[in-house]
Amino acid sequence: MESKIMAAPKPNEEEIAAVEDLRKCIFQFTELAIVRCVIELGIPDFIETRPNGTVTLAELSSASGCSPDFLHRIMRFLTHRGIFKVVGIDGGDSSIVYAHTPFSRLLTKDRMAPLVLFFSSPELVNSKLSFSKVLASNKTETNAFKAVHGVDFGTYMVANPSFNELVAKSMSCLGGSNISSVIEHYPAAFEGIGCLVDVGGSDGTALRKLVKAYPSIVRAINFDLPQVVALSPGGDDRIERIGGDMFVEVPRGDAILLMSVLHDWSDEVCVKILKNCKKSIPKETGKVIIVEIVVDHGNLKNTFEGFHLGLDMEMLALSFNGKERNAKQWGDLLKSAGFSKHTIKYIPAPVSVIEAYP
- Active-site residue (options: 72, 80, 100, 263): 263
Q: Report pLDDT digits (tens) over 174-207.
A: 888 899 999 999 999 999 999 999 999 888 889 9
Is 3.40.50.150 the CATH number for 172-357?
A: yes
Beta carbons within 8 Å of 107's beta carbon, 6+ residues apart: 35, 38, 39, 44, 83, 113, 116
Domain boundaries, the chain: 13-105, 172-357
Give yes or no for residue 115 having a pLDDT over 60: yes
Per residue in 282-321, pLDDT tens?
Answer: 999 999 999 999 998 665 556 788 888 888 988 888 887 8
N- to C-terminal Cα separation, the chain: 92
12 vs 269, which has greater pLDDT? 269
Fold classification of 13-105 (topology level): Arc Repressor Mutant, subunit A (1.10.10)
**Is residue 263 annotated as part of the catalytic site, yes or no?**
yes
